[in-house]
A and B are shown apart, each in its own frame.
Chain A
């Protein structure tokens, strides 16, 4: 049974960089047909997709966060990571990692599809 677990500091100071890691167990991060994604949820608010990465390093990012986001993958550790720079209080949220289905077709077109399973989430608070 595939499981994902987020880890990282729960408190980050304004203007610093938020760093989180997602560890995948019960399956390989190098699986074809799947990207690995980060999603966040500010307290009391809705979900926001941050970005997703393939085991080869190919990425897709939310345009509204792209300038501050870096997602990387370490296949040897079966992990992928999120870095969000220059954080402010608006970045306070529960951060989730999830497996992200990717539909690839013979004509080389590809589409980001559903998220499943999700990690339990980790609350990151931006405060001095």
Chain B
């Protein structure tokens, strides 16, 4: 199974909004609403930020939102804050009853 495609890096200034894309196929992202997003700070374990495309777990700021169109899912962070600087990974269920992750995106807050 091939990894989902994410941009290697994105950046934004405090207060701005950024969007990270996650592109797959009709056999994963496009075929199911089981897409989730994880935030990982250096040396730390990943943290669930969005599940089932657009749902936020309790405790995750509403600045984080998710969406999907066709084979591409997106994570949007509005009102960017310095603490949002981290790596972000998407993942999806696949038609082979497996899970595939994206390659990860490094977010830099300028």
Contacts and interface: CB of A to CB of B under 8 A. Distances in A.
A111 B34 contact: yes
B46 A49 contact: no
Contacts, number: 72
Contact of B38 (A101, A113, A115): A115
Interface in B22-72: 32, 34, 36, 38, 45-48, 51-52, 57
Contact of B45 (A96, A101, A103): A96
Nearest to B104: A46
Given A46-B89, A119-B45, A63 B96 contact: yes
A47 B102 CA distance: 8
A39 B89 CA distance: 13
A47 B88 CA distance: 10
Contact of A46 (B1, B3, B96): B3
B82 interface: no
A118 B46 CA distance: 7
A58 to B, nearest CB: 11
Contacts of A62: 1, 98-99
Contact of A113 (B36, B57, B103): B36
A111 B3 CA distance: 18
A116 interface: yes
B21 interface: no
Given A47-B104, A49-B100, A60-B98, A113 B1 contact: no
Given A39-B46, A46-B89, A61-B98, 18 more contacts: A46-B102, A46-B103, A47-B38, A47-B89, A49-B91, A49-B99, A49-B100, A52-B99, A60-B97, A63-B1, A101-B51, A112-B99, A114-B34, A114-B51, A115-B48, A116-B47, A116-B51, A117-B48
Interface of A: 37, 39, 46-49, 52, 60-64, 96, 101, 103, 111-121
